Structure 1
């Protein structure tokens, strides 16, 4: 499978980095994309030192010109898997108090970033000998709202709608469209970014929760879905820790 290539966005940390590791272990040549070149270089070094195939390509998925240039640099039909993982949340303000700039930024990366990458790589995915696979890492926030999460939920609902529509429009084409919607995942940066660097508030999100998901759990789910036989499409996988029954129903100990 070393001739097979997977492009992973947001690969500099968290779910993206874990997914890159998982797909590399599955035998894919993984193209690592994100804005932070130093982190991508470190991951590339880690994977190649382990005898795995990886290439770091710094990229901002909200920059359409850069995305188009990236896609043009790849060989036609040379990409079999695209994992749209780049995303994130900003703030916990109510709808009444939310900053439109934050909402715009979340829409840009969570929705338009997916659109840019998918449009740019779809010709290559469609031309792949055994067909291509588009994975969109959305969120349970795209399937159920909660107070203080209006902007993020709106963006992830948008990503969900894009994914569902794309699957309908590609019916009959040799491309699978998979959505993976994680619930509570404890990563090094997601909550910290959302709370604008407030480590105490970020840590409180997971207080008392026994075994929240790790990035590797989501990567394992993505890896499983991608490696099903080409005729098998896993439409939607909602992945939560056992302690989380719904976005607002979380068991906490102590």
Structure 2
């Protein structure tokens, strides 16, 4: 376990897709960094019930990021309990991979709905709670597929590229009037999550051979990047895309 620090001292944080994988690592890292409260949001919280017991400053919240009523309920809850949001991490996302001539309209719509529209709706719902103090950090998880493309991921790449475009617009828009609301992206490469652990070893070896640092990344690598962009250490950084990929895309 990483050593605790105080980068998030007293901050109110919201993380989507938080039950497992990257979202779990991000939530745990923010909690260990001294957050007053981390709202760990996921459409299915069951995988989080065990690890959340070790963090009294983490609160689970069942949430569909595409459900306006659920978003309004969460926003109202946080307003009543804390009156503000300091950090929003948009991590929830899905894949439905297929080659272009095999991809269905439903595959396209579902991925764009969750990965792009969901981030738009989540940020829109939390923004008033950042505007309370005219300050905050929005960190959205994109992907190297959104910056450089990948075979069989037209929908995923479009959604993640769209997240980058939205983020750059938000960085300009949300800093108007003297506000210090920052928006940045992280673009992970191949990360050792439940998804990659199901990949055959020979495929993983091929993936590793493409990475200059020679190994898949770990969820903590992404979480540490989120912590940096969420904290005051990056107070003069906005509208940027941080690639964490072991040098895969140069």
Q: Normalising TM by the smaller chain, what interval?
A: 0.7 to 0.9
Q: Report the secondary structure of 2:187's partner residue.
A: strand
Match of 1:186 in 2: 192
- Name 1:80's counterpart in structure 2: 86
* Structure 2 residue ranges without an equivalent (≥5): 1-7, 209-213
Q: CA deviation at 1:230?
A: 6.9
> Which residue pairs with 1:46 in the alignment?
54
- Pairing 1:109–2:114 present: yes
Provide the TM-score with structure 2 as the length reference: 0.85
Aligned-pair CA distance for 1:185: 1.1
Q: Offset of 1:146 from its aligned partner?
A: 2.3
Does structure 2 retain, via aligned residues, the 8 Å contact 1:77–1:128?
Answer: no
Q: Please state how far the C-alpha of 1:12 moved relative to its aligned partner.
A: 0.6
* 2:55 partner SS: helix
Shift of 1:205: 4.2
Please list the CA deviations of residues 4-62 of structure 1 after superposition, one character each: whole Å capped at 9, or x if unmatched. Answer: 210000001111100001111111121100011222322321223xxxx1111111112
> What number of residue pairs does the alignment pair up?
231
Task: Give the superposition deviation at 1:2.
Answer: 5.1
Quick one: which of 123, 127, 141 aligns to 1:122? 127
TM-score, with structure 1 as normaliser: 0.84
Q: Name 1:250's counterpart in structure 2.
A: none
> Is residue 2:15 matched to residue 1:11?
no
Question: Could you say which residue in structure 1 is the equivalent of 2:205?
Answer: 207
**Runs of 4+ with >3 A deviation:** none
Give 2:143's aligned residue: 139
For the residue of structure 1 that corresponds to 2:217, the secondary structure is coil
Distance 1:205 1:174 in 2: 44
